[in-house]
Structure 1
Amino acid sequence: MMVEAGGLVQQRKDIMTIRHVNNKVRYVTKTIKKNRYKNRKESVVPRVPKVLQELFVSCREVFKGPGTVPPASDVKKLCSILDKMKPEHVGLSRNLEFFKATGPVKVTPRVTYTTIYQCAEFSLCIFFLPATAVIPLHNHPGMTVFSKLLLGKMHIKSYDWVDPVNSEDPMPPSQLRLARLNTDSVFTAPCDTSVLYPTTGGNIHQFTAITPCAVLDVLGPPYSKQDNRDCSYYKDIPYSAFSNGETTVSEEESDCFGWLEEIEVPENSQMDGIEYLGPQIIETSCL
């Protein structure tokens, strides 16, 4: 299957057009003022929307680095900002057909991502999922993650460890571990921001796109192999498939639990990184 990005969105008539071409989001300027000087033109560059700049400034204040979790008041603050985020704030349109298949679907389509901003304390990323694309079940060790579905319809399934003690330690791939189901639902944009924490809120989750989707993720702190925050992948097995001598789960509750087995990196976890050419954050001031 060959996938290309396609579509146009007019943000301001005759001023700026956003084109998604192959692996970049391009801002194409047009002549907006003519004068007596031949071939002279003025162009407009994308300005950072106030809500995007506000998100960046708040993240700088909220995230204090590895080993810290934002207090409830700061979580509420970031959620209130993200809940206001719209596709156009990062250069997208609700009507943009940003992924278009040019051939029959034979394999699961690849996910694309772009990074708006990243530092040691947090990162802002957008993930683009064509219809039927999957981000496999994976964890977020020691991280607090805010996810805002900007476009599309998506199924989210997530778990938390029943025993979170030493949950960040490496485990043998063959070892099963009991987890409690946190979320198993379909979400349609626009919807509220979801939040996961190092040991609660669905730290281990999977995204499956029902329609083409765009998700804005705020990760604090971001993944880092050198800081032991690498991503691990899992497959889930129904609780009823195995017995557990130490944990007693009633038959009525069994659907709320599952066994997770760590696996090698799945082939469909590979993503294509693209350059972010949307509205640029201003690092030195707040709008």
Structure 2
Amino acid sequence: MTIVEAGMVQQRRGTAAVRHVNRVRYVNTNGISKKKKRRCRVGRRRPVLQDLFLSCREVFKGPGTVPQPSEVTKLCQIVDKMRPEDVGLSSDLQFFQTTDKVQGNPRVTYTTIYQCNEFSLCIFFLPATAVIPLHNHPGMTVFSKLLLGQMHIKSYDWVDPANSEESVPASHLRLARVEANSVFTAPCDTSVLYPTTGGNIHQFTAITPCAVLDVLGPPYSHDRDCSYYRDFLYSAFSNGETTGVTEEERESYAWLEEIEMPENPPMDRIEYLGPQITDTGF
């Protein structure tokens, strides 16, 4: 996807340059004097975004690897601390104050804070009612943090094929277990999904304008792209006699069908203009 330039307006207000990008505003303080910058740094701790970056470099070791439990705990402790201002955002921004109803499926915007072969740091901006369709994260571990807004999250994991092989009613459908089907309101704890557990297949639906921070290791690439799915109620293709699934457990399962990637997915990319990461190299 290309960087979206439509709707980008740059203004000058005092010593700070303010840029509006698809109604998401960042403030660039390049106009502040060096003397004042030095004075601001005295006694300040290292930014949490920099801590996150440095920890990601230690934890993510490339494709085919999954962080150890202690490493997951370490990253969760950092991501749990992340606040909108750590990436240059605020609930006072016009994007998050918008109450206008949008016809159809509003476009999702995303920005990449940092990306390398081992991991990526991204933010997704969803207007109210916007949807990121049901999709997977092949071979990836993902730490997801809702920074602003209210969102419904639905996620699934595949049922062990050894336990579900005889129950699949059609070759194009596959049994999945519901891992989440709830509304989340910021601030909330970090969600972690793994290559085969934790809700690797998920869908986001914005109830209000939202901002979501995603830490993905490894990131998507041309040979590790996502697949899209359509879900069906368990009862739609089963008479309740599936091995290992009782009548009471029906709502905990669903049938998933892989579908083609949308020709024009409702997502645009914008430039990241928030606080910067200092990359000293590996």
Do the structures match in fold with TM over 0.5?
yes
CA distance, structure 2, for counterparts of residue 26 and residue 150 of structure 1: 15
Per-residue CA deviation, residues 242-268 of structure 1 (Å, 9 max, x unaligned), is 128763421110000000000111367
Aligned twin of 1:169: none
2:181 to 158, 181, 184: 184
Counterpart of 2:131, as a letter, is V
The 5-angstrom pairing of residues 24-173 of structure 1 reads: 25-29=25-29, 50-98=47-95, 105-163=102-160
Per-residue CA deviation, residues 37-74 of structure 1 (Å, 9 max, x unaligned), is xxxx9896999961000000000000011010001100
**Residue 277 of structure 1: how far off its partner (Å):** 1.2
Aligned twin of 1:233: 228
Per-residue CA deviation, residues 23-48 of structure 1 (Å, 9 max, x unaligned), is 77553448657xxxxxxx98969999
Contact 1:23 1:275 in 2 (8 A): no
Say whether residues 1:194 and 2:208 are aligned partners: no
Aligned twin of 2:249: 253
Per-residue CA deviation, residues 97-128 of structure 1 (Å, 9 max, x unaligned), is 22677976221100000000000000000000
Number of equivalent positions? 263
TM-score (norm 1): 0.81
Other structure's SS at 1:219 match: strand
**Residue 96 of structure 1: how far off its partner (Å):** 1.8
Contact 2:157 2:198 in 1 (8 A): yes
Unaligned segments of structure 1, at least 5 residues: 34-40, 166-172
CA distance, structure 1, for counterparts of residue 182 and residue 264 of structure 2: 21
Other structure's SS at 2:183 match: strand
CA distance, structure 2, for counterparts of residue 88 and residue 284 of structure 1: 23
Aligned twin of 1:38: none
Between the aligned residues of both structures, percent identity stands at: 70
Aligned twin of 1:283: 279
**Which structure has greater helix proportion?**
2
CA distance, structure 2, for counterparts of residue 5 and residue 270 of structure 1: 19
Counterpart of 1:199, as a letter, is T
Unaligned segments of structure 2, at least 5 residues: 1-5, 163-169
Counterpart of 1:239, as a letter, is Y
Cα RMSD between the aligned structures?
3.4
Aligned twin of 2:165: none
Contact 2:25 2:93 in 1 (8 A): no
Aligned twin of 1:20: 20
Say whether residues 1:266 and 2:262 are aligned partners: yes
Contact 2:24 2:95 in 1 (8 A): no
CA distance, structure 2, for counterparts of residue 184 and residue 5 of structure 1: 36
TM-score (norm 2): 0.82
Contact 1:83 1:148 in 2 (8 A): yes
CA distance, structure 2, for counterparts of residue 5 and residue 247 of structure 1: 56
**Residue 21 of structure 1: how far off its partner (Å):** 3.4
Aligned twin of 1:36: none
Contact 1:29 1:43 in 2 (8 A): no
Other structure's SS at 1:83 match: helix
Bigger mean CA offset, 144-153 vs 248-257:
248-257
CA distance, structure 2, for counterparts of residue 24 and residue 190 of structure 1: 19
CA distance, structure 2, for counterparts of residue 282 and residue 54 of structure 1: 10
